[in-house]
Amino acid sequence: MTTVAEQRPAAGFSTSARIRGWLRNPWGKPRFLVLITWAYILWSIVPVLIAVQFSFNATRSRTVWDSFSTRWYWGDPVDSVWHDPTLRHALVQTFKLAGADVLIAVPIGVLLALGLARWHGRGSGASNFIMLFPLVTPEIVMGVSLLLVFSELFTFIHTGTFAQILGHITFSISFVVVIVRGRLFSIGRQYEEAAADLGASPFVALTRVLLPLLTPAIVAAAAVVFAISADDFVISQWLSSGGGTDTVPIRIYSATRAAPLPSVNAIATIMMVTTLLIVTLGFLTWRAFTRGESKAGTAAEDFGTAFRL
């Protein structure tokens, strides 16, 4: 920071000198960068806030604001989220898929991360390669693959809820591995070795030492898996067997192409609030567990970059 002070022109200089000072000083704050950044943030968030606002509109319009009402959540006896069976069912289906995904993908992913981080023998390279592939495969390729394998080879599995759950787990496992492995690297091996020196068997060292240390990563991974499952459109759509298995993203997608009511905004808002709450809880847990391990601010970055990286 001393450099900044040295390079900054002394107080009392004219405005033009100060502007020249900004330009000359690489650590100054170029005003156009400030402008672009805040404009970007507004652009990325305000439209969503407007969509939330219209979920509370008293009329059927999603473009002309009338007055505040909870009609589209539960007030309307026919078209509200609470009373419209297709919307309510979509909400249930989304939670069903996300819940099953978290319960199955997280344990499988944690074990895979532990295995891949410590296993260096024959086959470990190939396994690592297979694990990374789902992260870079476009979802449509995965959707086509799963649809064809269920219709041509595993014909005992029909499209529908079960196939959707299998698909969600398939794309979720790698995210769990990436998050947990990052944590494994930062823990290092010394705790396990200490446990071993004190006479713990590998299994005891794993369950009594390593797993508790991995808790923040496991909680974060569960939150991320919930979020990506609830957000998923492509896999759910390709493996859906019609109306009964539609999820919230599929409802939003088909509604935007028809003549939607603000109840679509309402169901989207419900999903958004739920996901943000779960992710915030995941983040707070992560920070509570890792407090004191790293410098302030990096927890947010670690948690943020753990997603889709």
Contact letters for another protein, residues 254-283 (x by CB under 8 A): -xxx--x---xx--xx-xx--xx--x----
- Binder of another protein out of 17, 103, 211, 300 (CB under 8 A): 300
Piece of the chain touching another protein by CB under 8 A; list 13-21, 73-81, 85-93, 168-176: 168-176
Buried-exposed string 232-245: b where 16+ CB fall within 10 A, e elsewhere: bebbbbbbbeeeeb
- Binder of another protein out of 103, 137, 198, 215 (CB under 8 A): 137
User: Distance (Å, rounded) from C-alpha 7 to C-alpha 145?
Assistant: 59
Q: Using the rule CB under 8 A, is 302 a contact of another protein?
A: yes
Q: From residue 62, give the alpha-carbon distance in Å to each of 172, 249, 260.
A: 34, 18, 8
- Binder of another protein out of 161, 182, 245, 266 (CB under 8 A): 182
**Count residues contacting another protein (CB under 8 A)?**
112
Q: Using the rule CB under 8 A, is 138 a contact of another protein?
A: yes
Q: Which of 36, 77 has the CB closer to another protein?
A: 36
Residues 109-128 that bind another protein (CB under 8 A): 109, 111-112, 114-116, 118-121, 123-124, 127
Structure-block tokens of residue 121: 């023998």
DSSP state of 291: T
Q: Using the rule CB under 8 A, is 202 a contact of another protein?
A: yes
Q: Using the rule CB under 8 A, is 235 a contact of another protein?
A: no
User: Distance (Å, rounded) from C-alpha 112 to C-alpha 124?
Assistant: 11
CA angle 130, 134, 137 (to 5 degrees): 120
CA angle 57, 58, 64 (to 5 degrees): 55
